[in-house]
């Protein structure tokens, strides 16, 4: 399973070689899904597996290589293990033989640097019981649970799973509504969904499906229409829609067809506000107008997909941006959560997709180096709206809502 392809909560298992990380994953999942061996370094690259956690639901367990690996290859494995922290919502630090020294402390520093909650499992406690003084010391110093455990005979499995549930950030598995705070009971919402070469055969794309479900969950009415039928629909539709959400690619047509007194936004902006770095997107989007000849733009796709001849990220956005700015710009496109082809400081702008397939933590971690370096970041939908001159209308449903909340407070 490729990194960044699952929007479920991610739990990373970290620790030294031979501490029983793979055995722990097998115990937690109730399946032999990770290779177990007495040979140090058996796990080389992070391995992912889905499981169900009571109280959390579906989650992804990530088995990593030992953080004490040595040699040239071992150093690379450790690097990949630490890189996995960018994708996990919760870490499990596995220790044995009451050993907790500089190696573990550096790992905890990395947890905190990536803002990752963690718990500590003292594995193989049947062989070397957990020292109560060490347990008390770690719990007081780091404010974490330290659980004695035996992966081969997990008598306290329920306690271990409960500790994961308690430590997991609620935002990782309990998503807030996409549109609920914009809607009232019985509102009508129109969704404009083009069916083009990029639309999957016989299906809608994920953000459209998510929007329909969210509207229904909020006891409202969803009307789905192609862009060609919007004009006719607006002339006859009663009651008047409370909101229209469009595919960003037909923003201009939607803006012309939807009366100005009806709020209009896009699926991509909806997702940007829901789990993206929305505040930094708001600050970064206007920087499109400041791009200069020779500037390089980074376009981030958070999943891999079949590339159509008129692909939104690889073809349309670069074309629109070059035409809008009138500048000679260079573009790099990175799919998934892989490494960038050059330092982030080489870019004048970063454009992130809607990221329907990954978690909020993964998006924030993905954009953090750019934000920290002062490189402007934006989102597909927000960039498209800016370049088409309808940005303020497109973000208004959400910015007005936030302003109303501030006034209320």
**Locus of tokens 């450790």:** 78
Domain that holds residue 61: 10-172
Residue 409 pLDDT exceeds 60: no
Specify the DSSP element, H or E, that contains 352: strand 349-352
d(CA 181, CA 158): 37
Q: Do 72 and 195 have their domain in common?
A: no
Per-residue pLDDT of 258-277, as tens digits, reads 999 999 999 999 999 988 88
Per-residue pLDDT of 151-207, as tens digits, reads 989 999 999 999 998 898 876 666 678 999 999 999 999 999 998 656 667 778 888
Q: Do 21 and 141 have their domain in common?
A: yes
d(CA 274, CA 127): 47
Q: Do 69 and 160 have their domain in common?
A: yes
Would you call 327 exposed, middle or buried from its count of C-beta atoms within 10 A (0-12, 13-18, 19+)?
middle
pLDDT mean over 347-369: 87
244 has which bridge partners?
Answer: 190, 264
Q: Do 25 and 133 have their domain in common?
A: yes
Residue 111: per-residue pLDDT: 94
pLDDT mean over 51-55: 75
Residue 216: per-residue pLDDT: 96
At 357, phi and psi to the nearest 5?
-95, -5
Cβ atoms 92, 24 nearer than 8 A:
yes
Per-residue pLDDT of 110-131, as tens digits, reads 999 888 999 999 999 999 999 9
CA of residue 144 relative to chain centroid, distance? 25
Cβ within 8 Å of residue 406, ≥6 positions away: none
CATH number of the domain encompassing residue 315 = 3.40.50.11410
Residue 406: per-residue pLDDT: 47
108 assigned to some structural domain: yes
Q: Do 17 and 120 have their domain in common?
A: yes
Residue 221 pLDDT exceeds 80: yes
152-157: long-range contacts at Cβ-Cβ below 8 A with a sequence spacing of 24 or more? 152/23, 152/27, 152/126, 153/126, 154/27, 157/27, 157/28
Task: Tell me the residue length of the chain.
Answer: 409
Cβ within 8 Å of residue 30, ≥6 positions away: 51
**Locus of tokens 């594995």:** 123
3 assigned to some structural domain: no
Which tokens belong to 147? 């659980």
């Amino acid at each position: 399973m490729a990194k960044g392809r699952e929007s479920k909560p991610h739990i990373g298992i970290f620790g030294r070689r031979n501490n029983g990380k793979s055995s722990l994953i097998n115990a937690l999942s109730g399946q032999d899904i990770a290779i177990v061996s007495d040979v140090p370094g058996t796990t080389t690259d992070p391995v992912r597996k889905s499981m169900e956690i009571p109280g959390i639901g579906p989650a992804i367990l990530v088995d990593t290589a030992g953080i004490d690996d040595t040699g040239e290859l071992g150093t690379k494995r450790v690097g990949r293990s630490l890189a996995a922290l960018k994708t996990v919502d919760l870490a499990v630090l596995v220790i044995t033989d009451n050993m907790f020294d500089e190696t573990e402390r550096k790992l905890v520093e990395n947890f905190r640097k990536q803002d990752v909650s963690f718990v500590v499992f003292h594995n193989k406690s049947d062989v070397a019981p957990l020292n109560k003084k060490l347990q008390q010391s770690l719990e007081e110093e780091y404010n974490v649970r330290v659980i004695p455990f035996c992966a081969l005979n997990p008598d306290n499995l329920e306690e271990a799973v409960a500790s994961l549930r308690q430590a997991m950030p609620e935002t990782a598995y309990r998503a807030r509504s996409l549109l609920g705070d914009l809607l009232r009971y019985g509102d009508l919402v129109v969704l404009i969904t083009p069916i083009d070469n990029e639309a999957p055969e016989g299906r809608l794309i994920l953000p459209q499906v998510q929007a329909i479900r969210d509207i229904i969950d909020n006891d409202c009415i969803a009307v789905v229409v192609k862009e060609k039928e919007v004009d006719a629909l607006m002339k006859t539709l009663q009651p008047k829609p409370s909101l229209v959400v469009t595919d960003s690619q037909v923003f201009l047509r939607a803006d012309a067809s939807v009366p100005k007194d009806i709020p209009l936004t896009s699926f991509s902006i909806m997702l940007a506000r829901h789990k993206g770095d929305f505040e930094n997107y708001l600050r970064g989007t206007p920087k499109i107008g400041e791009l200069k000849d020779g500037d390089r733009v980074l376009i981030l796709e958070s999943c891999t997909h079949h590339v159509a001849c008129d692909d939104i990220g690889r073809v349309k956005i670069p074309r629109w941006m070059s035409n809008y700015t009138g500048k000679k710009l260079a573009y790099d496109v990175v799919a998934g959560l892989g490494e960038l082809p050059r330092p982030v400081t080489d870019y004048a702008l970063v454009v992130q997709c809607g990221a329907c397939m990954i978690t909020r933590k993964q998006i924030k971690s993905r954009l953090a180096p750019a934000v920290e370096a002062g490189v402007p970041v934006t989102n597909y939908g927000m960039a498209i709206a800016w370049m088409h001159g309808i940005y303020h209308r497109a973000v208004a449903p959400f910015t007005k809502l936030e302003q109303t909340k501030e006034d209320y407070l």
